[in-house]
Amino acid sequence: MTERDLERVASDYNRDGFAILPAYLNGSQLSALRGRAVPLARKLLEDNGGKGRFPNLFKSLQRYDEWFDEQLREGCHVPLINHLMDGDAVGVSAAWFDRPKGEMSGIEPHIDAVGENASANSGATIWFALDPVDLGNGCVHYLKGSHKKNYHGETWVAGVNKEAEDAFAAQLNPGDAVVHSAHTVHWSGGNFTGLPRQAISYFYLSRSVYHSYQKKRKQK
């Protein structure tokens, strides 16, 4: 990305809590991502047997394939994440998101940040579309400016007006991406089409939040 592109993305991100990145991956990068993600997701789904609240969502892919660990640390998006997080990003998880055809339930409004002291700069997620994503098959929706509010340590955010003027539907083409603050309220709908909706995301936390998060996990 050029310096001008970086500044445009940063401006959108700081104002709205997210930014759209059209054609962020080229053809070979998209093919490589699909080639690693789809077979791994199929294996994990077979092993999992469709259990759990979100049976088509798999986190920490880097534990199963070192390629995703490399992408977390050195992927083409990492300079952008560091730019948005003032060089303070620590890779936490690569995740697979699938909304198979006929899966009518989506994911309710929530934020990704963890801890009571989480803020707009606590973390960031970049989400890559592997398929065309639109209103019909469950695109991600964002509430503009919601990253500036305090959610008091809550993950799920109640009372969100999904039809509000500030609600935005991130409709993407394969290879497009959207990057959002870990403190931005977002949700997704069901898949009412016969088309797939597959995606990969990379999640980052600031160093201070990451170390606090790891410490709490060890205490449990």
Q: For the segment 25-71, what is each residue's pLDDT rounded down to a tens digit?
A: 999 999 999 999 999 999 998 887 666 556 688 999 999 999 999 99
Residue 154 is predicted with a pLDDT of 84
pTM for this predicted structure: 0.92
Average pLDDT over residues 179-188: 96
**pLDDT above 70: residue 17:** yes
Residue 189 is predicted with a pLDDT of 92
More confident residue, 42 or 218: 42
Residue 211 is predicted with a pLDDT of 72
The count of structural domains within the chain is 1
Residue 116 is predicted with a pLDDT of 62
Name the burial class of residue 63, with classes exposed (0-12), middle (13-18) and buried (19+) by CB atoms within 10 angstroms of its CB: exposed
Residue 53 is predicted with a pLDDT of 59
* CATH code (residue 135): 2.60.120.620
Residue 38: which domain range?
3-219
Read off the pLDDT of residues 63-116 as tens digits, 9 standing for 90 and up. 999 999 999 999 999 999 999 998 889 999 999 999 988 788 889 999 997 666
**pLDDT above 60: residue 203:** yes
With cut-offs at 50, 70 and 90, classify the pLDDT of residue 3.
Answer: confident
